[in-house]
Amino acid sequence: MSETWIILGATSAMARAFARKLAQNGANLLLAGRDMAELKRIAADCELRGATSASAVAFDARKPAKFEGIIEQATASGGSLNAAVFVGSMPEQSEMDADASLIDGVVQDSFTGAIRFLHTLAPHMEERESGTIVGVGSVAGDRGRVGNYVYGSAKAGFHTYLSGLRNRLARSGAHVVTVKPGFVDTSMTWGIEGMFLVASPDDVAESLIKAVKKKKNVVYTPWFWRYIMLIITHIPEFIFKKLSI
Amino acid sequence: MRWKTDNLMGWGRALTREAEIARPERLSTLSETIQESPCPAIGNRRSYGDASTAAKAIDFTRLDRFISFDSETGLLEAEAGVTIADILNTFAPKGWMPAVMPGTGFATLGGCIAHDVHGKNHHLSGSFGQHVESLTLMGPEGGSQRISLKSKPKLFRATIGGLGQTGVIVSASIHLAKCPAGKMAVQERRMEDLDAFLEAFNSSRADYQVGWLDMSAKDIHLGRGILEEAHFSSGPFEPPREPRAVPFNAPGFAMSRPIVKAFNWAYTKRVPEAGRDVERPLHKFFFPLDNVHHWNRLYGKRGFHQFQCVLPDDEAPATLALMLEAVVASGLASPLSVLKRLGHGRGGMMSFPMEGFTLALDIVNKPSAKALLARLNELARNAGGRVYLAKDSSLEAGYVADMYPELDDFRAEVQKVDPSGVFETDLVQRLKIRGQA
């Protein structure tokens, strides 16, 4: 029986690379997101690359009424039930500074929408006593920085939720992987100054597949970001508050 | 769309420029980008000179999805950013492969069409463009049309091998060929000199043929090398292993004469005098250099030029001898020189292939390279031959009309679809391919 994966935010470059790898292993894929035309193209691609099935489903982190329907669709095809969460939005911090109402959307996209979905999904995974959740957070969630602390704090909340969910699901044999990517070469980082050590979505996807296989708890990708963040989180606050990194 | 300012260069790295590059990840972003600022599309930048450089360009590598596949007929529709290796890796296990594959699997579908590339089976299967059933072309206003040889013969033939001048190739349907096995049976034979080489090519019946030339051999050994003839053997398809990479630019002496000479000697001696039969996985046979990432860095920071021409049969023996002599005398030759037979197959007005012999070689970008390249270009033209624009960095603009007899038709067709020249690349401007401005 092939496994079923729900991919939230499936049009992102990282999600696409991850879905392709799952497809090559013959998974059933539910590709969830807002841009249906694009999702259908990705679904067709995944089927040609070996997915047992791949379908596009409408998902908006800000519209929780639709969540049940997606989960129902996923439970229809037996095998283990899994989910990968790539959703999130990151307007410029300066835009949010000018218009604080933008914050709600960021928190819904990057945190509350995602966890409400996972919370609805969790009982089904407990029932099947299997499955993995891959939650993509961000190194930005490790410490609030002047450049993007709204997004960072949403991701920090997401990390904390994932840690709690991992704790809960461990009792029933399901697993949660928290992923903290550094800079990834996607449309989000394309052309932005000051990017360094940028990883390809394909390399990130490969590390996610490995993390799922090895039941890792928290992974930084690429791996060296663990140490970069170790340093950044250990800078004393009285110095950190004066930095702009 | 955010534009990234970056250095843009061909694979040879001799010609570089600063450029604004957009890289859409969705189809909708592509048309928005074209509407906002129309410019040529580029793929994996595997052409050697300036065919894929321009002041502004759209990087197509993220538009790389398979769209549909008919397992009865082998017809594959895919976005233009898909690579040849990706097609091979995905479809070879199902018994299909691209009918024509260039020497690198990193080339994109769009690039293969825009240069109408050829492979080691050109004498049998023709050029890449001859296997294109239809394609979607986006014009300067962001609108798309579907064209085929039947529906729009002129525009289609201007697009195949058309250097991206007719618009952005968004996706294409290509006929895949049957892939009978995952391994090639390769026969390698030493060739003593140029005459023996040409003779062997002319009498070869192999499905796949390629010759490697020892460019440090001179006098009576001129044109010595190894002929590889191959056909499909048996066994399952194996995906390639993770490639190794050249991490940084090699120092200038890496391609100096004694090192190249030593390499050539070792490369020749690896094949015993009596020849040998070996089995190679498809990747190793078709894309021999792809398992060393960034091998172009071996030429150091200054980069290199690649010269490739095709010469008609009757002129080939004499002209090839003159070319080899010129290269050997210059001391600029590289270890990577290839001799191949081409058939007559070509898909477009500006396609490179013609019946005859094709010679391809790398030339380190030293000051003296210029004179050598000029000499080689002149020899090619005088022989009624043609220089491959996908490789070119040095041709005289005035030679293009002699080498490409359908140039006027091409110009007329391009003028219709892109009157203001938004799709011009550096190569097209350098060689005045669109006509005198």
Indicate which of A48, A185, A210 best probes the interface with B, i.e. most B CBs within 10 Å of its own CB: A48
- The reply to whether A196 falls in a domain is yes
**3 state SS for B331-379:** CCEEEEEEEEEECCCCCCCCCCCCCEEEEEEEEECCCCHHHHHHHHHHH
Angle between helices A36-48 and A13-24 (to 10 degrees): 30
Q: Which residues of B190-229 are buried (b: 16+ CB within 10 A; e: fewer)?
A: bbebbebbbebbeebebebbbbbbbbbbeeeebbbbbbbb
Residue A21's closest chain B neighbor by CA? B90
Q: How, if at all, do strands B225-232 and B183-191 pair?
A: antiparallel
Of A197 and B100, the structure prediction assigns the larger pLDDT to B100
Q: Where are the beta strands (DSSP E) in B365-417?
A: 386-387
Q: Give the one of A13, A37, A48 whose C-beta lies nearest to B90's C-beta.
A: A48
Are A8 and A63 spatial neighbours (Cβ–Cβ below 8 Å)?
A: no
Residue with tokens 């892109």: B418
Is the residue at A153 inside a domain? yes
> Partners of B59 in the beta sheet?
B42
In the block, which residue shows the tokens 């961000």? A138
In a domain, A166, yes or no: yes
Contacts (Cβ under 8 Å, ≥6 apart) of B243: B290, B291, B292, B293
Task: Give how far the C-alpha of residue B9 lies from the chain's centroid of Cα atoms, to the nearest Å.
Answer: 15
A193 touches chain B (CB under 8 A): no
CB within 8 Å: B67 and A45 = yes
Mean pLDDT of A93-101: 91
pLDDT of A78 > 80? The answer is no
Where in the sequence is the domain holding A220, given as residue range(s)? 4-240
Q: Is A52 inside a domain boundary?
A: yes
Residues B219/B262, Cβ–Cβ less than 8 Å: no
Q: Does B242 touch chain A (CB under 8 A)?
A: no
Amino acid code (one letter) for B375: R
User: What was the pLDDT predicted at B135?
Assistant: 98
Burial of B332 (0-12, 13-18, 19+ CB in 10 A): buried
pLDDT at B62: 97
| DSSP per residue, B151-176 | T-HHHHHHHTT-TTTT-EEEEEEEEE
Q: What is the pLDDT of residues A2-13, one digit of tens each?
A: 899 999 999 999
Q: What are the structural domains, with CATH classification, of chain B?
A: 183-395 (3.30.70.2520)
Q: Does A66 touch chain B (CB under 8 A)?
A: no
Q: How far apart are CA B57 and CA B324, in angstroms?
A: 37
CB pairs A-B closer than 8 Å: 43
CB proximity B232 to A under 8 Å: no
Residues whose CB falls within 8 Å of the CB of residue B379, separated by 6 or more in sequence, listed in order: B319, B322, B323, B326, B385
The whole-angstrom separation of Cα B20 and Cα B246 is 27
Percent of chain A exceeding pLDDT 90 equals 83
Residue A114 lies in a domain: yes
ipTM of the complex: 0.92
d(CA A218, CA A162): 10
Task: Say if B67 is an interface residue toward chain A (CB within 8 Å).
Answer: yes
Task: Please list, in sequence order, all residues whose beta carbon lies within 8 angstroms of the beta carbon of residue B232, skipping any fewer than 6 positions away.
Answer: B179, B180, B181, B183, B184, B185, B207
Q: What is the pLDDT of residue A1?
A: 57
Pick from A45, A186, A192: which is nearest to B66 by CB? A45
For residue B309, the model assigns a pLDDT of 98
Residues of B in contact with A35 (CB under 8 A): 26, 28
Those residues of chain B that have pLDDT short of 70 are 436-437
Chain B residues 23-42 within an 8 A CB cutoff of chain A = 23-29
In contact, B174 and B51? CB cutoff 8 Å? no
Q: Does the beta carbon of B18 lie under 8 angstroms from any beta carbon of chain A?
A: no
Mean pLDDT of A213-239: 93
B-chain residues near A192 (CB < 8 A): 2
Asked if A206 is an interface residue toward chain B (Cβ–Cβ < 8 A), one would say no
Do residues B373 and B307 make contact, with C-beta atoms less than 8 angstroms apart? Answer: yes
Which two three-digit tokens encode residue B298? 């071996």
- Chain B residues within an 8 Å CB radius of A49: 66, 90
Mean pLDDT computed over A26-36? 96
A245 is a domain residue: no
Number of domains present in the structure of chain A: 1
Least confident of A88-97, A113-122, A157-166, B161-170: A88-97
First to last CA, chain A: 48
CATH number at residue A187: 3.40.50.720
Give the mutation candidate from B62, B75, B109, B171 for the A interface (greatest A CB count, under 10 A). B62
Tell me, yes or no, if B285 comes closer than 8 A to chain A by beta carbon: no
Q: Output the DSSP codes for B267-284.
A: HHHTS-TT-EEEEEEHHH
Query: Which of the residues A12, A190, A210 would you substitute to probe the B interface, choosing the one with the greatest number of B C-beta atoms within 10 Å?
Result: A190
pLDDT band at residue A157, thresholds of 50, 70 and 90? very high
Q: What is the DSSP letter of A112?
A: I
Which is nearest to B192 in space by CA: B163, B224, B165, B216?
B224
Query: Is the predicted pLDDT of residue A108 greater than 80, yes or no?
Result: yes
Residue A138 inside a domain? The answer is yes
Residue A80 lies in a domain: yes
pLDDT for position B244: 75
Q: Are A93 and A136 in contact (CB under 8 A)?
A: no
**pLDDT for the residue B239:** 84
